[in-house]
């Protein structure tokens, strides 16, 4: 009887134990870059070229904390973008649709450049004493953009698949005429801007929230599940799928409301991919096409999914943000 009572007590204790807060809440509680008091908000008045600059120590600290949390060994260092690339990127961003450019200018205080980030890019948002997020910051690893846009996105997407001889998995992000390294940077910046806008508009739980309830957020309720989703992991040491499984994966993925495979990772990535693809494809009329080429045979696995009928709710959500 004493043993049964002890087992019952242990069960109830475990069942009532609060879940651990998300990593973001722990990092945002202590990382200086995530509080507006760290920043001179007059920097938001700078022209875009002046905001592209080497990362400062608060941002390097922010990256190190995330890398430690995610188990990455990379140690970031500030880096200066080549002057011609900086000029070209600023010009590319200035040609964004006006509502998007307005969001970028109003809510991104810096586009910081580094080496050894541990990925292509990342973002963060700064909160004030009221818990609001008026602006954020973007971080780019300049060494990740030595490939053109289609090579870069294909490299990223292929981290899910183990290669097989005679088979290739490719993504087209740009037509050949505009398939440049700078175009790849632009797409990444749109994605990372999406993370900031999700916080500014409270479209998803705050990064500071220790007990987020995603069911309170309409966008999060569009997050679908399918049997193979749990296996999807990007940048893993060992890719979770063989490229020969790509057709099977996409057959399950096809009916969902995800615009890309990367959007399946979690609600934050889903929002950012939806945000980026709405601008990229709906507004800028650019492609997002996924192909499997096996022994000379080409199969289109996905094409401009953001335009599909099941994506209407998500398209409308992003459109409302851009109309404000």
DSSP symbols for 7-60: HHHHHHHHHHSPPPPPHHHHHHHH-GGGBGGGS-GGGGGS-HHHHEEEPPHHHH
Q: What is the pLDDT of residue 215?
A: 87
Strand segments (E) across the chain: 52-54, 77-78, 108-115, 121-126, 135-141, 161-162, 167-172, 241-242, 289-294, 297-303
| pLDDT bracket for residue 4 (50, 70, 90) | very low
Question: Rounded distance, CA 96 to CA 193, Å?
Answer: 13
Per domain, the residue ranges of the chain are: 20-146, 147-205+214-324
The three-class DSSP label of residue 277 is helix
Q: What is the pLDDT of residue 20?
A: 64
Q: Let me know the angle formed at the C-alpha of 250 by 171 and 230, rounded to the nearest 5 degrees.
A: 105
Residues 6+ apart with CB under 8 A from 201: 321
Looking at residue 128, the DSSP 8-state letter turns out to be -
Residue 302: strand pairing partners? 290
Residue 13 Cα to chain centre, angstroms = 37
Q: What is the pLDDT of residue 72?
A: 87
Tell me the per-residue pLDDT of 115-139, one tens digit each, with 9 for 90 and over: 999 899 999 999 999 999 999 999 9
Greater confidence (16 vs 67) lies with: 67
| pLDDT bracket for residue 19 (50, 70, 90) | low
| pLDDT bracket for residue 324 (50, 70, 90) | confident
Q: Could you give the count of Cα atoms lying within 13 Å of 112 in the half-sphere of its Cβ?
A: 27
- 167-172/161-162 β-pairing: unpaired
- Hey, CA dihedral for 86, 87, 88, 93, is it positive or negative? positive
Counting Cβ atoms within 10 Å, is residue 311 exposed (0-12), middle (13-18) or buried (19+)?
buried
Question: Rounded distance, CA 195 to CA 203, Å?
Answer: 10
Q: Which residues of 138-159 are buried (b: 16+ CB within 10 A; e: fewer)?
A: bbbbbebbeebbbbbbbebbbe
What does the mean pLDDT of the chain come to? Answer: 93
Residues 6+ apart with CB under 8 A from 240: 160, 231, 232, 233
| pLDDT bracket for residue 1 (50, 70, 90) | very low
| pLDDT bracket for residue 160 (50, 70, 90) | very high
Tell me the per-residue pLDDT of 270-281, one tens digit each, with 9 for 90 and over: 999 999 999 999
Question: Rounded distance, CA 147 to CA 153, Å?
Answer: 9
- Lookup result for tokens 């580094």: 114
Mean pLDDT of 19-29: 85
pLDDT exceeds 60 at position 15: no
Q: What is the pLDDT of residue 9?
A: 33
**Whole-structure pTM value:** 0.92
């Amino acid at each position: 009887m004493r043993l049964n009572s002890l087992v019952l007590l242990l069960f109830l204790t475990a069942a009532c134990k609060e879940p651990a807060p998300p990593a973001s809440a722990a990092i945002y509680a202590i990382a200086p870059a995530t509080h507006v008091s760290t920043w001179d908000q007059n920097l938001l008045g700078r022209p875009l070229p002046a905001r592209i600059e080497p990362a400062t120590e608060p941002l390097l600290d922010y990256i190190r904390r995330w890398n430690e949390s995610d188990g990455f060994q990379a140690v970031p260092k500030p880096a200066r973008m080549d002057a011609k690339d900086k000029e070209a990127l600023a010009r590319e961003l200035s040609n964004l649709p006006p509502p998007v450019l307005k969001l970028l200018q109003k809510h991104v205080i810096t586009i910081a450049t580094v080496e050894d980030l541990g990925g292509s890019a990342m973002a963060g948002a700064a909160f004030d004493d009221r818990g609001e997020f008026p602006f954020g910051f973007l971080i780019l690893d300049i060494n990740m953009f030595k490939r053109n846009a289609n090579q870069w996105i294909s490299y990223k997407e292929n981290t899910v698949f183990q290669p097989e001889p005679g088979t290739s998995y490719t993504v087209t992000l740009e037509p050949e005429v505009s398939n440049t390294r700078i175009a790849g940077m632009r797409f990444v910046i749109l994605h990372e801007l999406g993370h900031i806008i999700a916080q500014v508009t409270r479209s998803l739980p705050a990064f500071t929230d220790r007990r987020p309830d995603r069911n309170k957020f309409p966008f999060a309720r569009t997050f679908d599940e399918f049997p193979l989703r749990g296996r999807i992991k990007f940048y893993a040491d060992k890719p979770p799928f063989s490229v020969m499984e790509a057709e099977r994966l996409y057959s399950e993925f096809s009916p969902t409301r995800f615009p890309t495979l990367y959007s399946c990772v979690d609600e934050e990535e889903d929002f950012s991919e939806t945000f980026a693809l709405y601008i990229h494809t709906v507004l800028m009329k650019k492609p997002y096409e996924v192909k499997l080429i096996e022994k000379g045979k080409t199969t289109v696995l996905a094409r401009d999914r953001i335009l599909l009928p099941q994506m209407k709710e998500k398209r409308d959500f992003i459109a409302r943000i851009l109309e404000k």
